[in-house]
Structure 1
C-alpha cells in the first residue's frame, strides 16, 4: 500500500490590525523552524475584521519585503484577488517577488471577494475598482491564469484577444526563477472556480469549517479533473485552518480530520496580536504531533 505524502504545514498572518514589524517577527521565527514550510498573507486593501478604519497593508508589497527578510520559507498570498490587478501587471509583480525570494513563491490566486461580504465589497468602491458579477470574475480568472502562465514562459511578445483580457505585445522580463513557473494555487469553493482549478491549479485551497462540505468540494474537483482527462492526484489539496490560542485541542482535532480527509497542505491561520514565540508554539503544539502519527 502506498504511503500517504507527509503533510506540509505553513502559517498565515493576515496583514490587518497589526504592524509590519509584528508580522516580520513571526515570519523570521518561522523561517528558522524547518517544520514550518510556507507562510502566507491575504489580499485585502481594507480590514475585513475588527476596526474598519484600522491598518491593512497591500499584500504583494508586504510579501516582497518579507521575502527579502527570509531565507527558506515558501511565500505567497492566500489568495490574490484577480479583481485588483490586471493579469499582465500581476504576472510582473509575481515574477519580481519570485526573483526577490530566490524562487520561493507559491502563486495564490482567486476570483475575488463575494458580493455578499460588505466589508470586502467596500474596498472596491474606495479604490475605484470595478466590481463585476460572479460570472465575470470567474471567466476573467480563467483567462488570467492562461495569460500569466504564458507571460512567465514565452520568450517572444504575444497578443491576446480574450473575452475579458486584451493584450498587445505582452511580454514579461525577467521571468520567474522557478521553471517552468511558480506553482499556481487557486483558492475557492464554488463549482465554477473548481472548474478553473481543475484546468490550471497545481494546488487547490479551501477555507476549513464544515468538513463534510470541504470533502464534497474536493470530490467535485476530482470529477472536473476526470472530465478534462487530468489526474486528480496532480492537484495538491490545501486547507486553511484558524488557530485557537485558548483551545488548542479544537485546532488539533481539525488538523487531524483534515489530514484524514486527504488534505496534505495545511495553512494555520494566526490571529493578531501574536503571542511571543508563536511560531515555536504552533510547531510544538500542532505540527510535531501531526507528523509523529
Structure 2
C-alpha cells in the first residue's frame, strides 16, 4: 500500500491518575505547536489503569473546559461510550462543545467497553448504568448515530421509534458550528461495529498493537463500504499508538508502520506523569521524523 501523504498527528491524555492542571498544561502547549493538529481525552467514569480508586475526570465536562482554553486544536473523546448517555442528550452536549470550541469538535463515539474488561465493566454497576450484550451495544450505536446526525441537521422536531432509541419531539437548538455537522469518528474493531462505521463514520479509529490485525480490520471496513456503495476512501483511517518516553525509537517504528499501512490520522497516547514540555518533545522526537 502506498505511503499516506501528510499524516495528521495528535495527542491523547487519558484523564485518570492525573490532575486537571497537568492536562491543561499539555493541551495549552500543544495548541501552540502546528504539527500537533488534534487532542483527545477518553470516556470512562472509573480508572481502567493504576489505582482503581484513584482520580478520574468526566470526559465531556473536561473537554468543554479544555475547548475554552485552546484556540487551534481539533478535539474530542476517543471515544464516547454510547452506553453512558442517551443519544439526544449526547447530541446536545456535543453541540455545546462544538460551540464553545468555535467549531473544532471531532465527535468520537463507540459501542462502549467490552464485557471482558473487568475494570471497565465495574463503572457501569457503580453508576447504575445497564450493561447489555454486544449485539445490543452495536445496534443501539447505529441508531444513536442516526438520531444524533438528525438532531444536528434537521430544523424541525421529529419522532424516532427504533429498536433501542425512542424519541418524541426531538430537537437540538442551537446547532453545532460545523456544517453540516461535526465529523463523526467511530472507534472499535469488531465486524459488527465496522458495519456501523461503514455507514456512519467520517473517521474510523482502532487501537494499535498487532499491525497485521489492524490492516485486516481496515480491509474489512473497505469491504463493508463496497457492499453499501460507499467509497472507502471517504473514511479517514485513524490509529491510537502509545508513546514510550524511554524508547522513542519503538514509537517511531510504530508510527512508520501505521503510515505505511494507510493510516493518516495518528493519535499518540501520552502516559502520565507528563514530562515538562512533553508536546515539544513529541514533536521533535516523533512527529518531525515522520512528516
Q: TM-score, normalised by structure 1?
A: 0.98
1:263, 1:75 → 2: CA distance? 18
The answer for the alignment partner of 1:159 in structure 2 is 159
Q: Classify the secondary structure of the residue corresponding to 1:290.
A: coil
Specify the alignment match of 1:278 in structure 2: 278
1:283 Cα deviation (Å)?
Answer: 0.2
1:74-85 pair list within 5 angstroms: 74-85=74-85
**How many angstroms apart in 2 are the aligned matches of 1:119 and 1:257?**
30
Say if 2:50 is the partner of 1:59. Answer: no
- Could you say what secondary structure the match of 1:273 adopts? coil
Number of residue pairs matched? 290
Answer whether contact 2:92 2:172 (CA < 8 A) is retained.
yes
Contact 2:4 2:263 in 1 (8 A): no
Instruction: Give 5+ residue unaligned stretches, structure 1.
Output: none
1:138-153 paired onto structure 2 within 5 Å: 138-153=138-153
Matches within 5 A, 1:25-36: 25-36=25-36
Q: How does 1:1-293 map to 2 (within 5 A)?
A: 4-291=4-291
Instruction: Report SS of the residue matched to 2:289.
Output: helix
2:290 partner SS: helix
- What secondary structure does 1:250 align onto? helix
Q: Give the Cα–Cα distance (whole angstroms) in 2 for the partners of residues 209 and 163 of structure 1.
A: 35
- Write the distance in 2 (CA, Å) between the matches of 1:80 and 1:98: 15
Q: CA deviation at 1:5?
A: 3.0
Q: Could you list the per-position Cα deviations for residues 35-80 of structure 1 after superposition, in whole angstroms to 9, with x for gaps in the alignment?
A: 0000000000000000000001000000000000000000000000
* Structure 2 contact 185–204 (Cα < 8 Å) conserved: yes
Separation in 1, partners of 2:3, 2:271: 34
Distance 2:117 2:262 in 1: 29
Distance in 2 separating the partners of 1:217 and 1:63 = 29
Q: CA deviation at 1:229?
A: 0.1
Task: List runs of 5+ in structure 2 lacking aligned partners.
Answer: none
Taking only aligned residues, the RMSD between alpha carbons, in angstroms, comes to: 0.8
Q: What's the TM-score, normalizing by structure 2?
A: 0.99
CA contact (8 A) 2:208 2:214 kept: yes
